[in-house]
A = this chain, B = another copy of it.
Amino acid sequence: MASLRKTERRTEDESLVETPDLEEFIGYNLKRAYVIVQADFRRALGEDGFAPRVFSALSLVVQYPNVTQSGLARMLGIERSGLVAIVDELEGRGLLKRTHVPGDRRVQALVPTDKGSKVYTEARAAVRAHEDALLSNLSEDEKATLMSLLGKIRAHEG
């Protein structure tokens, strides 16, 4: 009998079928995994929680107070124009303020409110809990490895 390539297998009826090409592709697997994590994120944060990108923006504003919108967009890897709605939402919910900066009248630095910092800390705990639960079938080592490998892909940023 001819040897089988590792991507081939026998089906119930003994016809020869390769395992789907798709499963060989990192991109496809990345997408499918991302969809799962993202859906669970939303489920975990509930009705009036944050969308992932809003959470990300708040996170950076809390950790880098006085960041400008341009700077924040750059960090998030999105366009300035796309950030406006996100900042509008966070400002509308009273979680940050657009403040202007003495030396440059173009920029408005983003500063978290007290409520923003508090809400962020709670949301972060919820996100951590969601990831811990969802990824409970990965060991700490495996999570670290995954991070590191994703980091190698992210090295192509910028």
Contacts and interface: CB of A to CB of B under 8 A. Distances in A.
A3 interface: no
Interface of A: 17-18, 20-22, 25-38, 40-41, 52, 56, 59-60, 63-64, 77, 124, 127, 131, 134-135, 137-138, 142-143, 145-147, 149-157
B77 A35 contact: yes
Copies in the complex: 2
A149 B145 contact: yes
A90 to B, nearest CB: 15
B36 A154 contact: yes
Contacts of A157: 32, 36
Contacts of A33: 30, 150, 153-154
Given A29-B151, A36-B156, A147-B26, A18 B131 contact: no
Nearest to A63: B20
B142 A156 contact: no
Given A63-B18, A138-B149, A149-B146, A34 B31 contact: yes
B131 A36 contact: no
A149 B156 contact: no
A22 B123 CA distance: 12
Contacts of A21: 59, 63, 124
Contacts of A20: 59-60, 63-64
A24 to B, nearest CB: 8
